Amino acid sequence: TVPESEYKVADMSLAEFGRAELSIAEVEMPGLMALREEMGADKPLAGARVMGSLHMTVQTAVLIETLKELGADLRWCSCNIFSTQDHAAAAIVAAGTSVFAWKGETLEEYWWCTNRALSWADGGGPDLIVDDGGDATLLIHEGFKAEIAYAKDGTIPDPSSTDNAEFKLVLQTIKDGLPTDPKRWTKMVDRLVGVSEETTTGVHRLIERAREGSLLFPAINVNDCVTKSKFDNVYGCRHSLPDGIMRATDVMLAGKTVLICGYGDVGKGSAQAMKAAGARTLIAEVDPICALQACMEGFQVIPLADVIDQVDIVITTTGNKDIVMKDDMARMKNNAIIGNIGHFDNEIDMAGLENTPGIKKVEIKPQVHRFVFPDGHAVIVLAEGRLLNLGCATGHPSFVMSCSFTNQTLAQVELWKERTSGKYENNVYILPKVLDEKVARLHLGKLGAKLTELTSSQASYIGVKPEGPFKPESYRY
Ligand code: NAI
C-alpha cells in the first residue's frame, strides 16, 4: 500500500469502480496487453523509476500498470487540471502506485502535484519521464537553470518577473525549494536517462530546446509515430470532440455552422466529426497545403474574422496562441459555443474574458461557463478554454489510446535499454518504423483484420522485405 504522504487523489472509495472500468479498458487495449505478455517475464524496466505527467484517465491507468508489469517503479500526475478521472486515480493508488491528481485542481495544486510526482520518498528523482505537453520537462529545465544561477552568484528566481500566471507558479515552485535543497534539479538531471513525449505541443517545445542546445537529456518523440499522430490525433479527436460538446451542452450539431481553426491532424479528425454530425463545417488555416487538403474534402476555407459573427460553434485545434480573441467573441451570436481541443488554454483569450470589466461569468455547471457581454449577448465557453474533450468528456477511447501508449511503452523500454550505450544524445528521436508497424499489427486482430502477405518476388520487385518495413521513411501515409 501507498503511505498517505505519498499520494493525493479525490476519493479512495472510487477505487473499486475504477478497477471495474480498467478491466473493461484492458480488453480494448490489445497493444498494451500484448506487451505485458511479451515482456512481462523479462521485466525490461526493472530498476527504472518512471515519472508520468499525462492525463490520469482510465486508459492511462492501463499504461501505468503495463509499465509496472514490465518492472518500473512509478509516480504519476496529470498534465491538465481538468482531465483526471478520479476513479482511475484511486484504482492506481489502491494497487500500490503514488498518484497526485484529481479533477479540478487549481493551478497552484497542479504544479504542486507535478513537483511531488517528481520526488521519490528518498528525495531522489526519476530515471525516465513520460510527458504530455512538456510540463514535467519544463519544470526540470527551469529548476536546473535556476540552480546554476544560484550557485554562480546567489540569484533567486523572481516569480514577479513574468506576466504569465503559470510560469509564475513554475518559478515559485523552484524558488520555494531552493534554500533547502539547492542541488535538487542538478541531481535529477544527472540521474535522468530520458523522456518520451506524447503530444505535438510538447514535441515543439523539445525541438526548440534541442535547437538552442539547452535540452538536458534525450527525448523520444512518440507523437510522430504514425500509429500515434495519424490515429490518436485524428480518430481520437473525431470521437471525443463531439462527445465533449454534447456532454457539455447537449446542443444539436446537425444544421449548425461550425468553424474549426487548424486543419492539422487534430483539425482533420474534428472537422470530419462535425461534418458527419450534419454540421456545415468551415476551416481556418494558415498553411496552404492543409488548406488545400480541406478544400479537397469539400470544406470551405475562410479566415475566422470573416465568419465569426455567423458561426454557432468555433473549435481551436492549432497548438498556437491567440486564435479566438475577446473582440471576436464580442461579435458572436448569442450562446455561440467556443471550445479548444489543442493542448494549452491560450488558443482562446480567456484572460480577456475573465479580466474585462462588464463581462459577467456565469457557471452553468463545472467546465461549462456562459460569459455575458455588456450588450446582453453571451458565449458559452467549454472547459475554461482547456482541452474540452478531456475537460467535458473522458478523452479518447481506449482502443486508440492503446496505439499511442504501446508506442510510449516501447519508447520507455528503448531509453532504459540504451541508457549506457550512448545511442541517444541530448536530442529528439523517433522510434524506428518496424516498431510503428508492430504497434499497428498488434491492433489488427481485435478488429478482425487479416493482412495480405507479400510473395518474395513481389517484395523484391518493390524493394522491401516480405516482413517489412513496407515504406521508406519519407512516406507520409
Ligand atoms: P498540427 O501541427 O498537425 O496542426 C495544427 C494546425 O494548425 C497546422 O496545420 C497549422 O498550420 C494550423 N495553424 C497554426 N496557427 C494557426 C492559426 N493562427 N490559424 C489557423 N490555423 C493555424 O498539430 P496537431 O497534431 O493537429 O495538434 C494540434 C494541437 O492539439 C496541439 O496542441 C496538440 O498537442 C494537441 N492535441 C490534443 C489532443 C487532445 O486529445 N485534445 C490530441 C492530440 C493533440
Q: Compute the distance from residue 252 Cα to the ligand 1 centre, in Å.
A: 25
Q: Compute the distance from residue 390 Cα to the ligand 1 centre, in Å.
A: 16
Instruction: List the catalytic residue out of 103, 396, 438, 443.
Output: 396
Cα angle 429, 32, 29; round to 5:
120
Q: Do 255 and 274 form a contact (C-beta atoms < 8 A)?
A: no
User: 81-130: per-residue pLDDT in tens?
Assistant: 999 999 999 999 999 999 999 999 999 999 999 999 999 999 999 999 99
Output the residue whose Cα is nearest ligand 1's atom 30: 342
Does 327 count as an annotated binding residue? no
Q: Compute the distance from residue 243 Cα to the ligand 1 centre, in Å.
A: 19
Looking from the CA of residue 322, the nearest atom of ligand 1 is: 18
Q: d(Cα 472, Cα 470) in Å, to the nearest integer?
A: 7
Q: d(Cα 107, Cα 115) in Å, to the nearest integer?
A: 12
Tell me whether residue 42 is in a domain. yes
Identify the domain containing residue 65 by its residue range.
4-227+396-435
Does 286 count as an annotated binding residue? no
Residues 162 and 71 reside in one and the same domain: yes
Residues 294 and 338 reside in one and the same domain: yes
H or E element in which residue 437 lies: helix 433-444
Task: Give the residue among 455, 380, 364, 84 at the shortest CA–CA distance from 372.
Answer: 380
Instruction: List the catalytic residue out of 168, 343, 369, 438.
Output: 343
Residues contacting 20, CB < 8 A, separation 6+: none
Q: d(Cα 124, Cα 187) in Å, to the nearest integer?
A: 8
Looking from the CA of residue 344, the nearest atom of ligand 1 is: 32
Residues 259 and 369 reside in one and the same domain: yes
Q: d(Cα 262, Cα 283) in Å, to the nearest integer?
A: 7
Q: Compute the distance from residue 188 Cα to the ligand 1 centre, in Å.
A: 32
- Cα 385 from chain centroid (whole Å): 15
pTM given for the model: 0.98
Q: Do 78 and 84 form a contact (C-beta atoms < 8 A)?
A: yes
Buried b vs exposed e over 424-462: b needs ≥16 C-beta within 10 Å?
beeebbbbebebbbbbbebbeebeeeeeeebeeeebeee
Output the residue whose Cα is nearest ligand 1's atom 11: 287
Q: Is 157 helix (H, G, I), strand (E, B) or coil?
A: coil
Among all chains, which residue has been given the C-alpha cell 510538447?
Answer: 202
Is 396 an annotated catalytic residue? yes
Output the residue whose Cα is nearest ligand 1's atom 22: 262
Q: d(Cα 247, Cα 36) in Å, to the nearest integer?
A: 34
Q: Compute the distance from residue 110 Cα to the ligand 1 centre, in Å.
A: 24
Q: How many CB atoms lie within 10 A of CB 102?
A: 20
Name residues contacting ligand 1 (CB within 6 A).
199-201, 229, 232-233, 236-237, 261-267, 284-287, 290, 317-320, 323, 341-343, 387, 389, 396
Looking from the CA of residue 320, the nearest atom of ligand 1 is: 15
Give the pLDDT score at 255.
Answer: 98
Out of 206, 241, 295, 318, mutate this one to test ligand 1's pocket (max ligand atoms within 8 Å of CB): namely: 318
The tally of domains found in the chain comes to: 2
Give the pLDDT score at 368.
Answer: 98
Output the residue whose Cα is nearest ligand 1's atom 25: 265
Give the pLDDT score at 305.
Answer: 98
Output the residue whose Cα is nearest ligand 1's atom 20: 285
Instruction: List the catalytic residue out of 21, 65, 198, 347.
Output: 198
Give the pLDDT score at 231.
Answer: 98
Output the residue whose Cα is nearest ligand 1's atom 32: 319
Q: Compute the distance from residue 317 Cα to the ligand 1 centre, in Å.
A: 4
Tell me whether residue 27 is in a domain. yes
Residues 262 and 380 reside in one and the same domain: yes
- Edge-to-edge strand ranges of the sheet holding 280-284: 300-301, 280-284, 257-261, 313-316, 336-340, 378-382, 368-372, 360-365
Give the pLDDT score at 46.
Answer: 98
Q: d(Cα 79, Cα 133) in Å, to the nearest integer?
A: 7
Q: d(Cα 62, Cα 283) in Å, to the nearest integer?
A: 35
Residues 186 and 256 reside in one and the same domain: no
Q: Do 439 and 400 form a contact (C-beta atoms < 8 A)?
A: no
Task: Write the single-letter amino acid at 26.
Answer: E
Q: d(Cα 137, Cα 334) in Å, to the nearest integer?
A: 41
Tell me whether residue 457 is in a domain. no
Does 38 count as an annotated binding residue? no
Tell me whether residue 57 is in a domain. yes
Tell me whether residue 465 is in a domain. no
Residues contacting 65, CB < 8 A, separation 6+: 22, 92, 95
Q: d(Cα 477, Cα 470) in Å, to the nearest integer?
A: 11
Q: d(Cα 21, Cα 318) in Å, to the nearest integer?
A: 32
Concatenated DSSP letters of 225-282: SHHHIIIIIIIIHHHHHHHHHHHHH----TT-EEEEE--SHHHHHHHHHHHHTT-EEE
Q: Which CATH number characterizes residue 267's domain? A: 3.40.50.720
User: 283-314: per-residue pLDDT in tens?
Assistant: 999 999 999 999 999 999 999 999 999 999 99
Residues 288 and 408 reside in one and the same domain: no
Q: Which CATH number characterizes residue 107's domain? A: 3.40.50.1480
Residues 106 and 12 reside in one and the same domain: yes
For 81, what's the count of Cα atoms within 13 Å in the CB-facing half-sphere?
18
Give the pLDDT score at 409.
Answer: 98
Q: Quick check: bond before 469 cis, omega within 30?
A: yes
CA distances to 116, 325, 381 from 359, in Å: 37, 14, 13
Give the pLDDT score at 469.
Answer: 98
Tell me whether residue 275 is in a domain. yes
Tell me whether residue 371 is in a domain. yes
Residues 262 and 220 reside in one and the same domain: no
Residues 258 and 205 reside in one and the same domain: no
Tell me whether residue 350 is in a domain. yes
Q: Do 43 and 72 form a contact (C-beta atoms < 8 A)?
A: no
Residues 140 and 267 reside in one and the same domain: no
Is 160 an annotated catalytic residue? no
Q: What residues in the chain have per-residue pLDDT under 70?
A: none
Give the pLDDT score at 215.
Answer: 98
Task: Write the single-letter amino acid at 303.
Answer: P
Q: Is 302 exposed, middle or buried (0-12, 13-18, 19+ CB in 10 A)?
A: middle
Q: d(Cα 468, Cα 461) in Å, to the nearest integer?
A: 14
Residues 377 and 407 reside in one and the same domain: no
Q: How many CB atoms lie within 10 A of CB 104?
A: 13
Q: Is 76 helix (H, G, I), strand (E, B) or coil?
A: strand
Residues 118 and 22 reside in one and the same domain: yes
